[in-house]
Structure 1
Amino acid sequence: MSDRATRHEVGDSREASATRCIAALAFLNFVVVTSEFSVVGMLPAMAADLGISVQSSAYFVSVFAVSASLLGPVLSFYAQALEPRFFLLAAASGYVVSNGVIALWPDFHVILFMRAIQGALLPAVVGVSAALALRLAGAQRDAWAISRLNVGVVAVSIIGIPLCAQIAQGLRWSYSLALLAALAAVAAFALSKVVVREDRPIERLSGSALKAVLNQNFQLHLLVSFLVFSALFCAYSYITILLGDVLGAEDKWLASLLLIFGLSGVIGNNLAGRYAGHSLVATSFTVLALLAGAVSAIVLVQANILVLLVIVIAWGAAHSAAFVVTQLRMFREGKGAATVAMALNIASCNLGIATGAAVGAWSFEAFGPDGLLTATLGFLSVGAGLYSVVLTQRVLPNSLQPD
């Protein structure tokens, strides 16, 4: 009896330790993703302070995305061979230094260089964090681990971006970067306390690991991620304008609806973590359908505030859930090379974010909300269709095998 109790206590202790570690990893993810997106709301202030045009300041966003897409997977391939605690502390320190340098040395070329470093680190941070979280949680709880880790990303739109924008407007934009440097230092300290040093890396560098993410099926999954995130940010980039058009004279509700959108992400994140582990395919198609319905309703339905509230909750939940199902899908597809698989997925998603925002801007300027809806539904339809084809290709060879 006492041995059974002891084993139970050891199990509880390990689960509590894993939970603390994943929480620290989620906080680091919060810092690095906030570092990426918070700059968007500060571009006018940065341009005025640096004496450059707003168009030129947009390079601070694009250089991050390009670096994440091109350099991130390469860095991740080598990061997987490092001891995870060492890499995570080094990466957190990189964000301390880069954000600190931008805050203290606000020069156009210096900022570009620091943003390129941050972009290269982000996919590796997300990949190593996910691989470590999945190792701690176990294969049977992979969806739970991804959803808990994604809490950090959900918090970006609720806390990170609004807080940085408020500081930039009330004080100076450089203070926001100083805050992010301080938060990165807090993340490094937390990780040093809860992440146990191991003698083994996350994954061993091998030809089979590279082969796992270079096969045709995996590349098609990356294209699905690209299309889904293009759809997400084609619509999300114009959420303020879309809600403003529906609200009309009642635009006093706009700030509240945006906050509710962010908070709804917590619901979507938790539901995706609960159901995707049991049925990833069904959950994925449900999320895409919910997203298509919500965006269509925003554009086509003349809703009162209560109906609009329901639509915004559905949209916010689907938006966040898409992150979870996409990451889980890529992790399972690239098993054996989880770090590189997740990094390639982040790179593909970043390309999707940039493409979706650009196509959304063009379609909205050319055809208004109807054009934006058409572009969003186009990305979603092609993404869902390609996902169906990929699933069919996986099943078909097995069905053709002789008995």
Structure 2
Amino acid sequence: MNKTIYALSLGVFGVATSEFCVIGILPVLAKTFNVSIDTAGWLMSGFALTVALCGPFITALTKNINRKTILLLVLATFVISNMMSALSTNFTVLLISRIIPAIFYPAFWAIALTLGMKQVAPKDAPKAISVVMMGLSISTVIGVPLTTYFADLFNWKASFIISGIVNIIAFLSLLLVVPSTPVERKKNNTQNLTILKEPFVWINYLYILLKIAGMFATYSYLADYFTKITHMNGAQVSLMLLLFGIAGILGNWIVGKIVSKNVHLGFRYFPVALILVEVLAYFFGTWFIPMTVIIFIWGFVHTSGFLIGNTRGAYKIPRETLEFTNSFVPSFFNLGVTFGTIAGGWVIKSTGVHNIIWISAAFLLSAFALTFIHPRVRGKYQENNLSESEESYLSPEQFAH
């Protein structure tokens, strides 16, 4: 693999750590700034909503700028954001500090994945994607637990400082390793727009939104759940998040192998598996030892949801429109994060953190129900569309890492 690809993966690790670093310290931030936990949840949902709304526009606005320049500017924005967050004196300033980099976040993802693919031969493009996306997995295994640990060791500001340092390292890596990449002028292909008339495309997007909402209705408030239900301290929370992330990498790899043989099985039974794990957490969450085992299983199932979501975004999509339809996937991912976090916060405010399991289950059951809907492929895409057994999408193994 070209060293540029690993530099891009480090960049993804930096921005993803910045996005998720508040998960482990949400209860601390709520207490520090004297806001409710559902209000503090806007540090996650506000970021995600900004990404969802700005994604298509920011990508279009930056299409003529050197790709390396955009990557560096986005990382610089994240460095400044984290420093602003660490210096925040009130919740409003902290929220604004979080939202600013989210505006440019989609451009980084789109460019990093595309640039990574261009570093290798076409046949190795899936491997390049998996390496770049590895930065996301590592952020959950190392980034989030690390920032949570330093917040417990010192104070909440340390979490943002560490996140900022990670982005500085990523900035220097991209500056030194990634080659200058001027934009290649291309004619607009308006024919791609016709794919959006196909119902199955919107079923894919809706499935992604509901599934991610179900995942983040609970994931966004894990630290609060561990603290109030399992009565863990800060150090224990960071260790549990580490265990959650390690299990996630293992689950991503194994689930990728399983559903590559029957991708529809993954779409249908992932929501069921996550519901069962969360129900176990509901009934056994007050016991430390059983909850430790449940957290491992939870991380194993949860993280594979990103893999399944990416695969669903390309499900039954003709190859010639795959890049176009995939450009909308990050927006629906982040809309899912937004809805899930807001809904989870509403439940916490209304009935307590213990009951977030049930709002998560509602989203996941809705996603499960969508797997029984098979809209007919119409128009010119009908003859190009392949059956479920054929690879009309990137296989889960190509996303696994």
Q: 1:228 to 1:81 in 2, by over 3 A?
A: farther
| Residue among 35, 51, 67 paired with 1:54 | 35
Q: Secondary structure at the match of 1:389?
A: coil
Change (3 A) 1:162 1:346: same
The one-letter code sitting in structure 2 at the alignment partner of 1:296 is: V
Letter in 1 for 2:189: S
Matched, 1:157 2:145: no
Measured after TM superposition, the shift of residue 202 of structure 1 is 10
Q: Which moved more, 1:65-74 or 1:273-282?
A: 273-282
- Whole-angstrom CA distance in 1 between matches of 2:271 and 2:136: 19
Seen in structure 2, the aligned counterparts of structure 1 residues 201 and 309 have a Cα distance that, compared at 3 Å, is: farther
Structure 1 residues 342, 78: CA separation in 2 closer, same or farther (over 3 Å shift)? farther
Q: Give the whole-Å Cα distance in 2 for the aligned partners of 1:244 and 1:102.
A: 23
What is aligned with 1:360?
A: 344
Describe the shift of the 1:210–1:320 C-alpha distance in structure 2 as closer, same or farther (beyond 3 A): same
Select 2:360's aligned residue among 376, 382, 400. Answer: 376
2:335 paired residue among 332, 339, 351: 351
Relative to 1, partners in 2 of residues 1:309 and 1:181: Cα closer, same or farther, differing over 3 Å? closer
Q: TM-score, normalised by structure 2?
A: 0.75
**For 1:85-125, what per-residue CA distance to the aligned partner results, in whole angstroms no more than 9, with x for missing partners?**
33222222222333344446767665544433211112222
SS of aligned partner of 1:196: coil
Residue 315 of structure 1: which of 284, 288, 298 is its match? Answer: 298
Deviation at 1:228, TM superposition (A): 0.3
Q: Secondary structure at the match of 2:179?
A: coil
* 1: CA distance, partners of 2:312 / 2:21: 27
Partner Cα separation in structure 1 for residue 240 and residue 139 of structure 2: 16
Check conservation: 1:133, 1:149, Cα contact below 8 A: yes
Distance 1:268 1:203 in 2: 40
String of CA shifts for 1:107-166, please: whole Å, max 9, x gaps: 766554443321111222222222333444666566644443333222223322233233
In structure 1, the residue matched to 2:82 is 99
TM-score by length of 1: 0.75
Identity of aligned residues (%): 22
Query: Structure 2 vs 1, CA of residues 370 and 90 (structure 1 numbering), >3 Å: closer, same or farther?
Result: closer
Structure 2 Cα separation of the partners of residues 247 and 113 of structure 1: 32
Q: How far did residue 198 of structure 1 move? A: 4.0
Following the alignment from structure 1 to structure 2, what is the Cα–Cα distance between the partners of residues 276 and 283? Answer: 5
CA apart distance, 1:366: 5.5
Within a 5 Å distance, the mapping from 1:174-323 to structure 2 comes to 174-201=157-184, 205-212=188-195, 216-239=199-222, 256-274=239-257, 279-300=262-283, 310-323=293-306
Query: Conserved in 1, the CA contact under 8 Å of 2:145 and 2:241?
Result: no
List runs of 5+ in structure 1 lacking aligned partners: 1-15
Q: Tell me, yes or no, if the aligned pair for 1:84 and 1:201 is still in contact at 8 Å.
A: no
User: Which amino acid in the other structure matches residue 334 of structure 2?
Assistant: N
2: distance between equivalents of 1:295 and 1:278? 26
Structure 2 counterpart of 1:86: 69
The answer as to whether partners of 1:360 and 1:372 remain within 8 angstroms in 2 is yes
Hey, what's the Cα distance between the residues in 1 that align with 2:14 and 2:138?
Answer: 10
CA distance in 2, matches of 1:42, 1:307: 23
Letter in 1 for 2:12: N
**Rg bigger for which structure?**
1
Number of equivalences: 380
State the Cα distance separating 1:311 from its structure 2 match. Answer: 3.7
**How far 1:267 sits from its partner (Å)?**
0.6
Report the Cα offset of residue 232 of structure 1: 0.5
The answer to whether the 8 A contact 2:267-2:371 is kept is no
Pairwise CA distance, 1:69: 1.9
Gaps of 5+ in 2: 386-401
Q: Is the 8 A contact 2:198 2:377 kept in 1?
A: no
CA distance in 1, matches of 2:289, 2:88: 48
Using the TM superposition, give the Cα deviation of residue 299 of structure 1 relative to its aligned residue in structure 2, in angstroms. Answer: 3.0
CA distance in 2, matches of 1:256, 1:119: 28
State whether residues 45 and 342 of structure 2, in contact with CA within 8 Å, keep that contact through their aligned partners in structure 1: no
Tell whether the 8 Å contact from 1:269 to 1:320 is kept in structure 2 after alignment: yes
